Amino acid sequence: MWSADEIAGLCYLHYRTRLPKQGKPDPNREWTSLAAVVKVESAAQREALDSPGNLQVTKEVVAMGTGTKCIGQNKMRKTGDILNDSHAEIVAKRSFQRYLLHQLWLAASHQQCIFSPGTETGKWKLKPNIIFIFFSSHTPCGDASIFPISEPENRLPKPVTEGHGAGQSAECRSDHYHLCPEDKRKSEKMPKNSIIKRMKTEDGGCFSITTEDLAVHHESVEQEDNVNQKSCECSAEMQTANKESGLVRPKVVDVHRTGAKCVPGELDDARIPGLGYHCVGLLRVKPGRGDRTCSMSCSDKLARWNVLGCQGALLMHFLQYPVYLSAIIVGKCPYSQEAMRRAVIERCQHISSLPDGFLAQEVKLLQSDLQFEHSRQAIQEVQSNSKTKLVPCSAGTQRRGRI
């Protein structure tokens, strides 16, 4: 019916051919993130019965957005005339809501649309042969971005990523143990029985391993931060060596990091160099360029949509059931299926006592092998020999119909 690569390719084609040049990055020095919603419509039940061997499926990009910006709390306006969160996922979801509003207007006007009358008077519901798939060119910022760096990624010049948070302190330098600037300072506080070794790869690159006993490491985390140990446990994926083809690989001293900060007043990250830097499963706010933001991370918002739907409070007055995503697809980038599932699905599985029609979904999580042409990683590969500093694109784009 559809595949991850097919959905990714459709979104990239839409970006190249349907969006204007204005607002797109300068490929010589800028990068951006892309997100979109794709409608997948199969033949109606009657048509399927008439032609069972010729089932027609149409796929259409109905919403798209790009962007990496999020304003700080001091720039927020009570009048609502400034967008707080312009990360690609949020711009695309906002665009999707406009699409749904337009479809509801078509329904009320007795025109062809995605809705059919519900059983409740004045309410509408999504037609059963239509589903929506969310695509993102990158791993969402926040909890989904926290996972171990696998050995092949250690061969990259800058293995540690921060989702949208470009230029943050977690950016590593390959010529210094793959530790971040703040980690270099904190590494002096590591127990004396900890030894960091440089290991060479076949292509001449380097990655770091530690011989530190993990039990001692966890004890130091508990003593320094006095944080609930269970809440700050890294996943089993972080605690064990990577296994491929029966071979045990060295334990890596670092993890992919997110620029998103823990919600003030709640549990905080341990910030111990290496595996103990982040606590997983926590709510986070997006990083700002200066003062702290009040916008929740994309991981947290995706988890919310997976329970409450994407339609928003206004549309819910006219819908009998929420509009859920059937799948979330991530483009080619550093990615962990375990981290995505933890961030989007598992954190909300315990939620109960929801209104009728609402339910924590078991959304399908997939990754495509196709890379976004204006992603940070793609631009870095093209400009590998350039001394120009890469920055996030200053403008974002949104499309829904004529937008």
> Using CA atoms, how far apart are residues 325 and 336, in angstroms rounded to an integer?
20
Q: Residue 68's closest CA among 82, 84, 88? A: 88
Per-residue model confidence (pLDDT) at position 77: 87
Determine the pLDDT at residue 113. 97
- pLDDT at position 143 is 96
Task: Of 39-48, 69-78, 118-127, 199-208, give the lowest mean pLDDT range.
Answer: 199-208
**Residues near 262 by beta carbon (within 8 Å), at least 6 away in sequence:** 268, 269, 279, 282, 283, 284, 285
Mean pLDDT rounded to a whole number for the chain: 78
**Residues of the chain with pLDDT > 70: what percent?**
69
What is the Cα–Cα distance from 147 to 239, expressed in whole angstroms? 11
Lowest mean pLDDT among 25-34, 90-99, 242-251, 364-373: 242-251
The CA distance from 385 to 380, in Å, is 9
pLDDT digits (tens, 9 = 90+) for 297-330: 999 999 999 999 999 999 999 999 999 999 999 9
What's the one-letter identity of residue 219?
A: E
Collect all residues with Cβ–Cβ distance below 8 Å to 125 and sequence separation of at least 6. 115, 116, 117, 118, 319, 320, 321
Backbone angles phi, psi at 73, to 5 degrees: -65, -25
Taking only the tens place, the pLDDT of each residue in 206-224 is 444 443 433 333 444 344 4
Structure-token match 């990239």, residue found = 12
Q: Maximum distance among all alpha carbons in the chain? A: 74
| Helix (H/G/I), strand (E/B), else coil: 50 | helix
Contacts of 256 (CB under 8 A, 6+ apart): 145, 146, 147, 148, 149, 159, 160, 161, 334, 336
Point out the least confidently predicted range of 6-10, 47-51, 99-103: 47-51
What pLDDT shows up at residue 51?
58
**Which structure tokens are listed for 375?**
């992603």
Q: Which of 217, 292, 207, 290 is nearest to 251 (CA)?
A: 207
pTM: 0.75
Averaged pLDDT for residues 174-201: 44
Mean pLDDT of 107-127: 96
Residues 143-162 have a mean pLDDT of 62
- Cβ atoms within 10 Å of 214's Cβ, excluding its own: 14
Determine the residue type at 87. Answer: H
Exposed, middle or buried, 129 (CB in 10 Å: 0-12/13-18/19+)? Answer: middle
- Flag the least confident range among 107-111, 159-163, 249-253: 159-163
CA 275 to chain centre: 21
Alpha-carbon distance of 60 to 400, in angstroms, equals 12
- Residue 391 contacts residue 32 (beta carbons within 8 Å): no
What residues act catalytically?
89
pLDDT band for position 49 (cuts 50, 70, 90) = low
The CA-to-CA distance between both ends of the chain, in Å, stands at 29
| CA dist., res. 113 & res. 98, Å (int) | 14
Structure tokens, 403: 């937008």
Sequence-ordered alpha helix ranges (H) in 226-259: 236-239
Integer Cα distance of 329 and 35 in angstroms = 10
Between CA 291 and CA 123 the distance in angstroms is: 43
Task: Read off the tokens for 372.
Answer: 């976004």
pLDDT at 175: 37
The answer to whether 254 touches 160, Cβ cutoff 8 Å, is yes
pLDDT of residue 186: 44
What is the mean pLDDT of the segment spanning 112-137? 96
pLDDT for the residue 53: 60
Residue 151, token pair as written in the block: 């050995």
Mutual orientation of helices 298-308 and 337-344 as an angle, nearest 10°? 60
